[in-house]
Structure 1
């Protein structure tokens, strides 16, 4: 019986591989007409289009993945961690051998829109084509024009770090059937132009869903849980629910609060820390005020969420210890009432990073410190010192539990074992 099951599993995988290769051949064959290709090639030299492409590439935060730490911009070299192994982010400078110098716009469009490589191979969804498929052809052409204008950098990709069966690209056929539907964004005629612009940026180029939605065991995103929050794989940070309505992760946030956070890294409701700090630093602070307002309008239209039941509160010895630690270590900045200091120290009362479901963000902030991004609107942000060397796991659990269950916060406590786990998680 075990032998039959093993043989059946291998047969199923073989079928997927065979069908996958047939699918790969079809998926990589989309091409423009000769006249369109000629027009696209001419458009690549338009200075206005290149400048627009630079802005769009910044909005899409392309450099965050395609630039190694201390490396040359867009030259790749960074390995992106997933629960299934590491995937290298490629060199997208116009080097003809190791970058996209030999690519046509059709090649680039197929990658962005269909998730297929230059030879028709299926791309791993760590490249967020599940969102980028919504980018319009004209915007994609502008981004390509900008990338083609960069100085070429000769740098080979790092090795693929996926084991069997994840390293069999054709096995992605089944994954794509479940989770990927290609198609450009289509404006909703019942909504305003500003709302549609915000939806386009959030759903497409900004690819917010890739972090702010829970993934299942196969790494897929259920569209019914759009922007409802989720733990970011391999980074151990929690990206909050983005609804500003009752029950949402940004419950009570105004449009201006959203704009302030994305523009400066700080708002009256909280500050950007962890991975979001890099998003603000590299991407959103450079967006136009009109685009930021559009994003805020769209996020404010997200529906209310089911109200979570308040965590039961018990005045334990751990809570008492957490209160003492808070008074000693935290109250000078965040206030005895948890309200912080406007424009300087973020509030903890009602802060979504404090009350998110897992407690990860608060734990990691206490351990590693909180470092807001340096932005044009906030060039000298205040930072929070790390306490990993001063507090043991029980102390961190106590103070985090106290913060999550004080003032108006009704989130659950955390365990010392959780602190121990996240204490040893790499920062990047």
Structure 2
């Protein structure tokens, strides 16, 4: 019995001849799971199909978003309440001379502003970055309308078509 147990133990523990090890199999790393496609950008609203009240509401909401969050957010220089920084960045509050005309206001946002500007007896000589390459006509119309109806301002509405006319006319400061 002892011999039988020992024989069984030796066979079970590999006491006999062992088969040659199998060559290592080449395992490829599993392909990474496909990345989820980003969600499509929300469709632009059909501004032209909105009634006047819906347009004004949209312009104020989108305008505030652009003012606060665009690449070169307007509030960075002009402040949360449009008061600017005296002697550095002009205020947007109560500036009918610069903002009262939609085309003039659109031109400032589209093409920027350089050189000396006097507002309420204070000189400003810092440059405003042109936004024509960063914002579309609807975004510019929205931010202009937001500025023209915020902080006590009441200068009328600007539409994307108003901005398009100014854009199509080109930069008045560009060499022709």
Provide the C-alpha distance between the structure 1 equivalents of 2:164 and 2:99, rounded to a whole number of angstroms.
Answer: 20
Which residue of 304, 310, 317 corresponds with 2:58?
A: 317
Q: Residue 419 and residue 315 in structure 1: after superposition, are their counterparts in 2 closer, same or farther (change >3 A)?
A: closer
Following TM superposition, by how much is the alpha carbon of 1:370 offset from its aligned partner in structure 2, in angstroms? 1.2
Contact 1:367 1:388 in 2 (8 A): yes
RMSD over equivalenced CA pairs, Å: 2.6
Task: Tell me, yes or no, if structure 1 residue 361 matches structure 2 residue 87.
Answer: no
Q: Could you say which residue in structure 1 is the equivalent of 2:127?
A: 383
Whose RCO is larger (CA < 8 A, sep 6+)?
2
Task: Tell me, yes or no, if structure 1 residue 335 matches structure 2 residue 76.
Answer: no
* SS at 2:169 equivalent: coil
Name the larger-Rg structure. 2
Provide the C-alpha distance between the structure 2 equivalents of 1:330 and 1:382, rounded to a whole number of angstroms.
Answer: 14
Which residue of 150, 155, 160 corresponds with 1:411?
A: 155
Q: Residue 373 and residue 386 in structure 1: after superposition, are their counterparts in 2 closer, same or farther (change >3 A)?
A: same
| TM-score (normalizing by structure 1) | 0.25
Provide the C-alpha distance between the structure 1 equivalents of 2:163 and 2:103, rounded to a whole number of angstroms.
Answer: 8
Q: Could you say which residue in structure 2 is the equivalent of 1:7?
A: none
Which whole-Å deviations, capped at 9, do the CAs of 1:190-231 have from their partners, x for residues lacking one? xxxxxxxxxxxxxxxxxxxxxxxxxxxxxxxxxxxxxxxxxx
Q: Could you say which residue in structure 1 is the equivalent of 2:27?
A: none
Provide the C-alpha distance between the structure 1 equivalents of 2:94 and 2:65, rounded to a whole number of angstroms.
Answer: 21
Contact 1:353 1:361 in 2 (8 A): no
Provide the C-alpha distance between the structure 2 equivalents of 1:353 and 1:425, rounded to a whole number of angstroms.
Answer: 21
Contact 1:339 1:348 in 2 (8 A): yes
* SS at 2:156 equivalent: coil
Q: Could you say which residue in structure 2 is the equivalent of 1:326?
A: 67
Provide the C-alpha distance between the structure 2 equivalents of 1:385 and 1:355, rounded to a whole number of angstroms.
Answer: 17
Task: Tell me, yes or no, if structure 1 residue 402 matches structure 2 residue 146.
Answer: yes
* SS at 1:371 equivalent: coil
What number of residue pairs does the alignment pair up? 113
Structure 1 residue ranges without an equivalent (≥5): 1-311
Which whole-Å deviations, capped at 9, do the CAs of 1:337-381 have from their partners, x for residues lacking one? 11100000000010123442x31121001100011239xxx7x92
| TM-score (normalizing by structure 2) | 0.58
Structure 2 residue ranges without an equivalent (≥5): 1-52, 118-122
Provide the C-alpha distance between the structure 1 equivalents of 2:59 and 2:80, rounded to a whole number of angstroms.
Answer: 18
Which whole-Å deviations, capped at 9, do the CAs of 1:245-290 have from their partners, x for residues lacking one? xxxxxxxxxxxxxxxxxxxxxxxxxxxxxxxxxxxxxxxxxxxxxx
Provide the C-alpha distance between the structure 2 equivalents of 1:353 and 1:416, rounded to a whole number of angstroms.
Answer: 22
Q: Could you say which residue in structure 2 is the equivalent of 1:349?
A: 93
Contact 2:102 2:162 in 1 (8 A): no
Contact 1:354 1:361 in 2 (8 A): yes
Which whole-Å deviations, capped at 9, do the CAs of 1:5-55 have from their partners, x for residues lacking one? xxxxxxxxxxxxxxxxxxxxxxxxxxxxxxxxxxxxxxxxxxxxxxxxxxx
Following TM superposition, by how much is the alpha carbon of 1:321 offset from its aligned partner in structure 2, in angstroms? 0.5
Provide the C-alpha distance between the structure 2 equivalents of 1:387 and 1:318, rounded to a whole number of angstroms.
Answer: 17
Which whole-Å deviations, capped at 9, do the CAs of 1:285-318 have from their partners, x for residues lacking one? xxxxxxxxxxxxxxxxxxxxxxxxxxx9x86122
Contact 1:368 1:385 in 2 (8 A): yes
Provide the C-alpha distance between the structure 2 equivalents of 1:423 and 1:316, rounded to a whole number of angstroms.
Answer: 24
Pairing of 1:103-252 with structure 2 (within 5 A): none
